[in-house]
Amino acid sequence: MGRLLLIAARNLMQNRRRTALLSAAIVAVTMLLVLLGSLGNGIQATLLEAGTAMLTGHVNVGGFYKITSGMGSPILVEAERTLKDVRELVPESAQIVDRRRGFGKIVSESDTVQGALTGIDATNEDALRGVLRIVEGSLDSLGGEDLSILLFQKQAERLKVSVGDDVTLSSQVVRGQTNALKVRVGAIAKDMGLISIMSSYVSKNVLRDLYQLDPDTTGVIMVYLDDPDQAATVKAKLREGLLQRNHRLMEDEPDAFYHKFQQVAGEDWTGMKLDVTTWEDELANVQWTMKTFDTITSLLIGVLLVIVIIGVMNTMWITVRDRTREIGTLRAIGMGRLRVLVMFLLETVILSTVSALLGVSLGAAIAGLLNWLQIPVSPGFQIFLMSDTLRLVVAPYSLVMAVVVVPLLTTFGALFPASRAARLKPVTAMQHAG
């Protein structure tokens, strides 16, 4: 095997131009594979971080309350009892917070914006604090008894308000009437994509007052875990535990809570039911977008890999043609078919492995460079990404995959020409005119 490796390596060196061209193609594809994978990972990570901080916990226990069978509201009654049960059922949680959920108009003297209102106690919201970039005021203003609101930059610009100004919230409440409440702008944050267009944060008391709710109510209990991958397990455990503790649960529906209003309104029950979801359920739309992105990326990489495989096959055909007489000689002096096959495949294995390693290294280095450069993303992409800069996450497993998959596929491409070389009759090969 050592001598076959030597022959393969030296043949590659001998045909420098051919080797360099093919190697460059494999390096480029592997590099793209790493970069696109890192981009996908980066988007996923950004979405996970931003999404789980702003929209959802890793596991959520949300409430739907119905006074009549035809209308549902995102209200969780007996909040203290439910919080206690959740804490007991998930002792391994990293943090548990609760938020109120609402929907309404934000009205200023200049304009009106409409969207989701999330009631928070900022003193408990470490994850949210980590992702929001406050440009004016303080998130702490949403942590006390004050009736405060956090607006995103574009909302504030549209409403022509700044910190300290008052805006009016207007919302339809449970019984169909519209309530209004004056709140003060406590903080303005940098835009965060789609979320910052469609929602804003208020102090918890704002929604209590706006909807005239009992103090022992909330909207959702959000459970954060050290390992988000455990979300599905924790969800199952919570569903079982909550049922045992005499809570009423909705059917398990892996979808975001705001998609469930129509379904809830159509169901024939009153009172409250709990809806247990994971972050993946709540970000199902975003996940769909991610899957679309992954599919497009996979297709692109697939096409590139096919091109490389065809390139490898073509090169191998040329190599086999050029070395047909050598094959004949080797077969004549006693080299078996398998060894001929291995000899040719080794060339591809060496070339593709070295090239893939180089491609992976370059890809990882470029990903690091792009992260360091903090490249801004276009506003359109920001909406989807929930971030204003590009972020690439190089996952070690994807590097290993690239180093394994690229050589495997290119070697597969070389298999057909190499096996043809191995099957050549010695006399046919020796008489080859090329």
Q: Which chain residues interact with another protein by CB under 8 A? A: 3, 6-7, 10-11, 13-14, 325-326, 328-337, 339, 425-427, 430
Distance separating alpha carbons of residues 406 and 31, to the nearest angstrom:
11
Pairing, β 95-107 against β 166-172: antiparallel
Nearer to another protein, 11 or 118 (CB): 11
Nearer to another protein, 15 or 410 (CB): 15
Nearer to another protein, 318 or 408 (CB): 318
Beta strands, E only, 67-94: 76-77
Distance separating alpha carbons of residues 283 and 148, to the nearest angstrom:
27
Distance separating alpha carbons of residues 88 and 207, to the nearest angstrom:
27
Buried b (16+ CB within 10 A) or exposed e, 92-125: ebeebbbbbbbbbbbbbeeeebebbbbbbbbebb
- Residue written as token pair 């949210």: 128
- Residue written as token pair 């804003």: 200
Nearer to another protein, 6 or 67 (CB): 6
Residue by residue, DSSP assigns 140-172 as GGGSSSS-EEEEEHHHHHHHT--TT-EEEEEEE
Closest contact distance (angstroms) between CB of 350 and another protein is: 13
Nearer to another protein, 9 or 357 (CB): 9
CB atoms within 10 A of CB 358: 16
Nearer to another protein, 10 or 87 (CB): 10
Nearer to another protein, 13 or 268 (CB): 13
Beta strands, E only, 267-309: 271-278
Closest contact distance (angstroms) between CB of 416 and another protein is: 20
Closest contact distance (angstroms) between CB of 355 and another protein is: 20
Closest CA to 194 of 129, 128, 127, 283: 283
Nearer to another protein, 242 or 327 (CB): 327
Closest contact distance (angstroms) between CB of 25 and another protein is: 23
**Residues pairing with 184 in the sheet:** 148, 166
The alpha carbon of residue 37 and the mean position of all alpha carbons in its chain are separated, in whole angstroms, by: 11
Nearer to another protein, 2 or 176 (CB): 2
Closest contact distance (angstroms) between CB of 354 and another protein is: 17
Nearer to another protein, 12 or 308 (CB): 12
Q: Which two tokens stand for residue 271?
A: 């009172």
Closest contact distance (angstroms) between CB of 320 and another protein is: 16
Distance separating alpha carbons of residues 99 and 119, to the nearest angstrom:
5
Closest contact distance (angstroms) between CB of 415 and another protein is: 20
Q: Report the phi/psi class of residue 322: left, alpha or beta, with left for phi > 0 and alpha for psi in -120 to 50.
A: alpha
Closest contact distance (angstroms) between CB of 23 and another protein is: 18
CB atoms within 10 A of CB 164: 11
Distance separating alpha carbons of residues 125 and 98, to the nearest angstrom:
9
Closest contact distance (angstroms) between CB of 329 and another protein is: 4
Distance separating alpha carbons of residues 22 and 134, to the nearest angstrom:
50
Closest contact distance (angstroms) between CB of 393 and another protein is: 43
